[in-house]
Structure 1
């Protein structure tokens, strides 16, 4: 576990101790369970050959609400998925001007997945572990923070 403590500050050199704790909690409660589920689905596909695919995305737009302290918190992506971030009911969570471009991109991917089974990016599987990042600067990455993912091997 000592290597986990050393790797976090190296990966996030500007982070405060509290921000490092948030990164660890995010991995433990959200990121790693989602990745392990996607890995299990990819393994089942390889073994069963029945066409199941898993897709992974990361919502990385930090809300400006509450002076930015929420970051890209849990459930913040929901108004973007349903293409309604401008709904006044979400203003307390998203701030006054949430980026419509992120909602357009996320909603299109979800609609495509719901109608065709394909969100418009490669499935999550080895060796690439493709992850779609929804943020001001969207990207499709291969195994983002892979070195941190492997720190949890055997633990989570």
Structure 2
């Protein structure tokens, strides 16, 4: 067993995990932060995305012990301090980027990193960046609209409809 300590969503947490325990398992099972989803168990779908020290990481491909001493942000930590939805979360709601909602946490985490690194992405930029995130409902159209809106850009509905 490995004793680990990390900051999760701004709060210091500790735990004792086996070496093979994945970060997603620690978050979901030990900390009960179930917003981080397990969609494929093979690092293909992006449903498990979290931020580790500010960088987007697939929590199903990182051991919990690798996060020892680091700062982790999950979808639960993305809301504003008052509990209201942040700009990206609100845009997903406003532009119907949710569909069934299973992929949404990973999409929001990816979108957050994309907009940090590229505040005004094109529709192509968004689609390319989300290449590692799978939406089983084929809701990409509205997800792209939501991210465009969150970036403060006008959504070109005609161009999106043509895709």
TM-score, structure 2 as length reference:
0.27
Larger Rg: 1
* Greater helix fraction, Structure 1 or Structure 2: 1
* Greater strand fraction, Structure 1 or Structure 2: 2
TM-score, structure 1 as length reference:
0.28
